[in-house]
Amino acid sequence: MLSLHKVAAVQLNPRLGDVDANLVLYENRVAAARAAGAELIVFPELSLTGYFLKDMVSTVALRLDSPEVGKLKELSRGVGLVAGLIEETDDYRFYNSAVYFEDGEIKHVHRKVYLPTYGLFDEGRYVGRGDRIRSFDLKSGRAAILVCEDMWHPSTVYIAALDHALMVLCPSNSPLRGISDGQDHDNNARYWELLNSMYAQTFSLFVVYANRVGFEDGVGFWGGSEIVAPSGERLAKAKYYEEDLIVAEINLKEARRQRVMSPLLRDEDIDLTIDELMRIRGRQPEAKVDSRESTVESRRSKARTSKSRRSKVEESKVGKSKVKKPVAETRGKHRLRPVVSISAKHRPKGRTRRSPGQRTR
C-alpha cells in the first residue's frame, strides 16, 4: 500500500430537495478535485438532498440501485468518493447515509448512528438510526465514516481506531451557533476544530472533515472544512461561510510515527473496557429487577403467611367441632351430672341385670 495520497474535502451549498441539481454540483466538484490530483473526495452530509427535509424524506430518498446512485458510481471510476444522501432500503426504511464509492462500485455504507433530535434538529422523527460502526479498506488506506453527530460521541472514534482505521472521514452539516465577543468565527466552528484536533492526536489518525455552507429553513452553516494530521496539525483549511474545495497530501507513515511516540492504542485494554461497560450497562436494570423480584417475593411471602394463618384457624375450628365436650361442662348456671356406667361387680346385691324383653314382677 502506498503511503502518500491526496485527499479532498468539498464544501458546497446544496439545493434542498433537488437531487438532480445537486448531482450537477457533484459532477463539477469531482472534476475540480480530480484536476487537483485528489484520490479520495469527501462531500458533506446529505449534500445530495439537502438537510432540513422533514416530510420530503420519502420523496428524495434513493435506493442504492437507483439511476441517481448509478451516476455516482460512474463519477467514482478512478477515484474514491463519499456521498451524503437519504437511503431507502428494500423494506422502505430511510437512513441518513454516507456511501463510499470506488472504481464504479459501492464499497461501504455508513448509516448515521446518533440522530440529533433536540434544539433545531429533528432527525430522529424522520429517519432510522444506524446500528454499527465499521472500518473498511480503500485505496488510500483503512478508514471509517462517521456522520456529524456521530463524532460528538467519543466512543465512535474509539471503536473506529480499535478497528484499525488510519482515517476518519466525517461528512457534516454543522450550523451556526453564534459568535462570542472577541472571536472571529462561530462558536460551533471553534468546538469542531478542537474536537477534530483532539481526536487526531489521541487516536493517531487523520481526520477529513467536510462541512457545508449556505442557508436552509433560516439556519446557516459555517463551512470551515479541514484535513487534520495525526499530530493535530491542519494540513488544509477551507473558508468560513463560502463554498470551497481543499486538497491535502497525507502520508500514512505519520500515523505510524505518532503511534510509535504515543502507543495509546497498543496499550488499550479492550477487555477491561468491555467488562466495565457491561457492569455499567447491567447495574441499573439489575437493580430494577432485584427490586421488583424482592417486592414480588415479599408479596408472595405475605400471601403464604396469611394463607398459613387462615389454614390454622380453619383447622382449629374443625378440630374443636370434632372434639366431644365433657358433659360436666358448665352450661349457663346449671351443672349436669355425668353418665356413669356401673359394672356388675359394683352393682348392689339383690339386683340382677335384666335382659332385653325380660319381664319383672
> What is the pLDDT, as a whole number, of residue 329?
47
pLDDT band at 179 (very low <50, low <70, confident <90, very high): confident
Average pLDDT, integer, range 242-249: 98
Over the stretch 111-169, which tens digit does the pLDDT of each residue have? Answer: 999 999 999 999 999 999 999 999 999 998 999 999 999 999 999 999 999 999 999 99
Over the stretch 257-288, which tens digit does the pLDDT of each residue have? Answer: 999 999 999 999 999 999 999 999 986 544 44
d(CA 210, CA 302): 64
The beta strand positions in the chain, using DSSP E, are 4-11, 40-42, 80-88, 94-102, 105-111, 135-138, 141-145, 167-171, 206-210, 213-216, 219-222, 226-228, 234-237, 244-251
Contact status, residue 149 vs residue 124, Cβ threshold 8 Å: no
Q: Which residues pair with 227 in a beta bridge?
A: 208, 236
**Is pLDDT of 292 > 50?**
no
- Concatenated DSSP letters for 25-90? HHHHHHHHHHHTT-SEEEPPTTTTT-S--GGGHHHH-B-TTSHHHHHHHHHTTTSEEEEEEEEE-T
Q: Which residues pair with 100 in a beta bridge?
A: 82, 108
Over the stretch 313-358, which tens digit does the pLDDT of each residue have? Answer: 566 665 555 555 554 444 444 555 555 555 555 555 555 555 555 5
> What is the pLDDT, as a whole number, of residue 184?
75
Average pLDDT, integer, range 19-37: 98
Which position has the grid cell 455504507?
109
Shortest CA distance to 14 belongs to which of 36, 34, 44, 35? 44
Of the chain, the percentage scoring pLDDT greater than 70 comes to 78
| Longest Cα–Cα distance in the chain | 152
Question: For 57-66, 232-241, 351-360, which range has the lowest pLDDT when averaged over its residues?
Answer: 351-360
> What is the pLDDT, as a whole number, of residue 303?
64
Shortest CA distance to 80 belongs to which of 52, 49, 102, 56? 102
User: What CA–CA distances, in Å, run from 223 to 10, 174, 193, 212, 217?
Assistant: 10, 8, 11, 5, 17
The answer to whether the Cα torsion of 119, 124, 126, 130 is positive or negative is positive
> What is the pLDDT, as a whole number, of residue 150?
98
d(CA 113, CA 167): 18
Over the stretch 214-236, which tens digit does the pLDDT of each residue have? Answer: 999 999 999 999 999 999 999 99
Mean pLDDT score of the chain: 87
Q: Reduce the DSSP state of residue 96 to 3 states and report it.
A: strand
> What is the pLDDT, as a whole number, of residue 360?
46
